[in-house]
A = this chain, B = another copy of it.
Amino acid sequence: MPLTITSRDNERLKHAVRLLGSAKARREEGLFVIEGARLCMDALQSGADIREVYATEAAAKRYENEVQALFAAGKECFFLSPSAAARLADTKQPQGIFCVCAALDKQARLYTIKKECKILALEEMQDPSNLGAVLRSAEAFGMTGVLLSEGCCDLYNPKVLRASMGAVFRLPFVRTPDFEGALLELSANGVQTLAAVVDAEAQAITKLDLKGPAAVVIGNEGNGLRPQTAALCDKRVTIPMKGRAESLNASVASAILMWEMTKE
C-alpha cells in the first residue's frame, strides 16, 4: 500500500513541482512530470521509464484500472492528499494522477531515421502549445521523426506534453545544438531539405514532387526561418495563400506541409 503524502512541503513533492516548472531542472536531472490518466497511460504503453507515480484517493477510485497499472509499473508510488495534489497540478481540472518519468531514450540518431523518411525539422519553435500541436499532427500524418534546434521549447514542458496528446512518447526525435549541420547532413544523404517560407516567389508546395525522402524545415512562429538556415536548404517552399491573409498560424502551416508530404 503506497504511503500518503499530505504535506504540501513534502520534499519529494517539492522536487516534482520543481521538475514541473523548470526546464533547467528537467534537463539537469533527466526527469519530467506528466499529468492525467491518458498521458500517464501513453507513457506506460510506450515503455517509458516511470520513476514515481502519484495519485489521489479519488483518482484511484475513478481511474481504478489506470492507477493500478501505474502503481504496478512505477518504481515508487504515493497517494496524495487533495491539497498536495493541487500543488503538482498544471491543469485547471486536474484528474489527480501524475508520474515522474526519465527523459525518453528516443533520441534516434539522424542516420536511423533518414531512409525513405519524412522529417519535420523545427527551428526555434517557442510556443509550447504550438509545438505540442505540431507533434500531434506529425504523428497523425505518419512523419518518420522530428529534428529540433536547441532553441525550441523544451519537449517536456507540461503544455507541450498535453497538446501533443502523447505523441512525444511515440515519435522519434533528435534535439541538436548543430541544427544547420544536421540539415546539411540530411541533404548530403539524399534527403531533400525544404525551407518553409512566406514568399509568393518560392515554390508552391503543391507543385513539388514529394515522393522521396524529404525534410520540411519550419521556423519560429513570429520571425520565420533564419535566412541563413533557409539558404542552406535545397529548396524554398511556400503555401499559396489568397485573400488578404499574410500568413497562417504556425501549427496550421506545419500541418499543411506535412500533409502534402505524406498523404496518399
Number of copies: 2
Chain A interface, number of residues (Cβ within 8 angstroms):
32
Task: Report the bound CA distance from A205 to B252 in whole Å.
Answer: 17
Please tell me if A17 contacts chain B, counting CB pairs below 8 Å. no
Would B206 and A245 count as touching, CB distance under 8 A?
A: no
A239 / chain B contacts, CB cutoff of 8 Å: 140
Would B249 and A264 count as touching, CB distance under 8 A?
A: no
Stretch among A19-27, A102-110, A255-263 lining the B interface: A255-263
A243 / chain B contacts, CB cutoff of 8 Å: 139-140, 142, 167, 170
Task: Report the bound CA distance from A251 to B255 in whole Å.
Answer: 10
**Which interface residue of A170, A242, A259 has the most chain B CB atoms within 10 A?**
A259
Please tell me if A240 contacts chain B, counting CB pairs below 8 Å. yes
Closest to A244 in B: B170
Please list the residues of chain A having a beta carbon within 8 angstroms of any beta carbon in chain B.
133, 136-137, 139-142, 163, 165-167, 170, 206, 239-249, 251-252, 255-256, 259, 262-264
Q: Give me 20 other A-B pairs in contact (C-beta within 8 A), A170-B244, A206-B263 excluded.
A: A133-B249, A136-B248, A136-B249, A137-B248, A137-B249, A137-B252, A139-B244, A140-B243, A140-B247, A142-B243, A167-B243, A167-B245, A240-B263, A251-B251, A251-B252, A252-B255, A255-B256, A256-B256, A256-B259, A259-B259
